[in-house]
């Protein structure tokens, strides 16, 4: 049985208006636990929309989405939030960090919405920063860090609750070639630990480093 299962997923924006957009058209995808999947395709093809639906930050307008046989279209907002918090770690192209805060404060955010005790938060965040190799930057403000360091902070934040799924939307889009490779290696290490990693990328070289490449165009999967 697949770890992540999407059946005939549809996503429309601005429904019944002149500006209606059909972003995803009957997308079906099965991803097994521990796979490293890249989603590629041209701009506006629906890659990010698909990733957002997988990451539970957006909902499909049609079809069925399941994680570990749990139908996520049937659960309420609170349960969805819990899944985002515990099962999924999200990494964004522009890092999605609070620039005025320190690395450790940024990494701690998911713990603030979990049941972790307040006294354990700092240690856990520090340990996670250590995992991604930037523990010495824990008390530096994010706006003082380089792009690569920021992305590591973002990955640490995605990892802090030890999720089994890591989603990365163009994680190397704002980075130079060397740093990009460092970040991909880091994601590969996380995959080797047994996590399912799904990345959206334009970079074919990076995509080829993954177990699977899913190509999407005009909201439809064109092939693997």
Partner 1 sequence: MFKLILLIIKDIFSKKYVYIFLTAQLFIAIIALNFSIAIFNSVFYLKHLVNESGVIQGTYFYPNIKYSQSDGAEIKEKLSQLGGIGEYGSVNELYGKLNSDNTIIKTLVADKIVLNKSKLPLVKGNWFNTSLEESNYIPIIISYSLRNLFELNTKYVYRIFPDYGGSDSYYDITIKVIGILNKNNYAFDLSGSNLETMIKKNYDGIIMPFNENIMSGYSMKYNRGVFIFPQSNMSIQNIEAKINENLASYGESVLVKNLLKQYEDAKMQIMFLTASLGILVLIISTAGLGGNNMLSILANEKKYALYYMCGATWSKCIMMTIIKDLIILSIPLVLSCGFIEIISRFIPQELFTTNIIYLIMSISICLVIFLITSVGSILSIYKKSPVSIIRKWV
CB of 185 to partner 1, least distance (A): 23
Q: Sign of dihedral through CA atoms 29, 215, 42, 159?
A: positive
- Give the binding site for partner 1 (CB under 8 A): 48, 52, 55, 57-58, 77-78, 80-82, 84-86, 90, 92-94, 96, 98, 100-101, 105, 109-110, 112-114, 118, 121, 157, 161, 169-170
Pick 5 or 48: Cβ nearer partner 1: 48
Please tell me the distance from the alpha carbon of residue 79 to that of residue 70, in angstroms, as a whole number: 11
Pick 101 or 215: Cβ nearer partner 1: 101
What's the length of the chain?
A: 224
Query: Tokens 């713990």 appear where?
Result: 111
CB of 64 to partner 1, least distance (A): 19
Please tell me the distance from the alpha carbon of residue 161 to that of residue 151, in angstroms, as a whole number: 17
CB of 78 to partner 1, least distance (A): 6
* Phi and psi torsions of 208, nearest 5°: -70, -15
CB of 1 to partner 1, least distance (A): 26
176 vs 117, 131, 136, 147, 150, CA distance in Å?
38, 22, 22, 9, 13
Half-sphere exposure of 49 (CA within 13 A, CB side): 27
CB of 223 to partner 1, least distance (A): 25
Pick 111 or 184: Cβ nearer partner 1: 111
Please tell me the distance from the alpha carbon of residue 171 to that of residue 174, in angstroms, as a whole number: 8
Pick 59 or 68: Cβ nearer partner 1: 59
Pick 78 or 223: Cβ nearer partner 1: 78
Nearest-10 Cα torsion for 192, 194, 199, 205: 20
Pick 32 or 114: Cβ nearer partner 1: 114
CB of 31 to partner 1, least distance (A): 20
């Amino acid at each position: 049985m697949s770890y992540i299962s999407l059946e005939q997923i549809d996503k429309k924006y601005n429904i019944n208006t002149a500006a209606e957009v059909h972003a995803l058209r009957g997308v079906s995808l099965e991803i097994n636990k521990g796979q490293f999947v890249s989603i590629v395709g041209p701009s506006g093809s629906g890659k990010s929309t698909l990733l957002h639906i997988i990451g539970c930050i957006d909902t499909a307008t049609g079809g069925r989405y399941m994680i570990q046989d749990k139908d996520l279209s049937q659960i309420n907002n609170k349960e969805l939030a819990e899944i985002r918090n515990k099962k999924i770690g999200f990494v964004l192209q522009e890092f999605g960090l609070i620039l005025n805060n320190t690395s450790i404060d940024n990494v701690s955010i998911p713990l603030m919405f979990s049941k972790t005790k307040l006294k354990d938060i700092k240690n856990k965040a520090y340990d996670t920063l250590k995992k991604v190799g930037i523990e010495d930057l824990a008390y530096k403000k994010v706006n003082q860090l380089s792009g690569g360091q920021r992305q590591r902070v973002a990955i640490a934040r995605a990892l802090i609750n030890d999720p089994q799924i890591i989603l990365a939307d163009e994680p190397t889009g704002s980075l130079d070639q060397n740093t990009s490779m460092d970040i991909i290696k880091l994601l590969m290490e996380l995959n080797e630990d047994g996590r399912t990693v799904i990345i959206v990328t334009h970079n074919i070289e990076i995509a080829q480093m993954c177990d699977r490449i899913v190509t999407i165009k005009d909201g439809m999967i064109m092939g693997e």
